Structure 1
């Protein structure tokens, strides 16, 4: 059977219109770092053009050699700026830094990732392959919500999360803002995009 990891891992669901505190287990990801407006920076497009082929090569390797098929997980990204107002209020995307992510199943080993990397390299169409790495992200306790709508409408939701809900729970932000893109923006209208917004937290 084909495994859908986002249906098995409970933190890949979140309530719409409300915030919840969850504990996210450590997970391994394919990662590529970058900086700049994702709509204009060629670096971001190059990162995705590299991440997806490796993710799919890994899926096919797992199916053919490990007899374990799975749905390629949704794209994810970490986002930050030196002044987070550039992210929540001003939405000055030129000041954003990011790490794009693709979840790696726990039965897939680093050696399999390297073989997938070699497969993609042979095709010569992955411009940031040298920047790709595998790393475990251990976020622990987080606050998250499901945002439905355009990405540029996230600002007020994040302000409410950061400035109202998190302090009211006796918590403070710790770690990097995380987004999980449950919708494909090439196929869904902006008002129907579904994105999990996640923020790691610790006690005050």
Structure 2
């Protein structure tokens, strides 16, 4: 007789507090010619790198794209060229990220463009474990309900497959700060997600 089974996917999550950050910025410069725009943005990027190395390790500073295009005024007329060079700067903690943002704003000035700050959990293993446990419990509960609806009970586990179910992170807020103070980044709380697909025997 063929074994009857039920396969379900459980989802779970666990809270975690972000403790590191990736700051995404760009240098943007305009000039009459391509070469001038490129040279100006390159100089700004070099300065950004110098500031960033005061707050993080050099290997955590990475270019994210370099573009040069024709710049048009509000009437649609070509006025020159605009160059943009983006960078992602990984910071070991939120205090370093806040200090980095403050120094960049003060030292790079109007050539700086802030693209965003992504907060991360540097060691998510513990939260992932709790999320996995919650996902397995959810899978068992779902399977038990389906078994009852089928006039059966759950038997032994036949297969467990991990994957799916990750939830987007809810990041903290980047607080506004005056130019004379250090930008404060609020970590808030994020949730680490997990998904588990389990096959149970039906008795």
TM-score for both structures, normalised by structure 1: 0.31
Larger strand percent? 2
Structure with higher RCO (Cα < 8 A, 6+ apart): 2
Larger helix percent? 1
Specify the structure having the higher radius of gyration (Cα). 2
TM-score for both structures, normalised by structure 2: 0.31
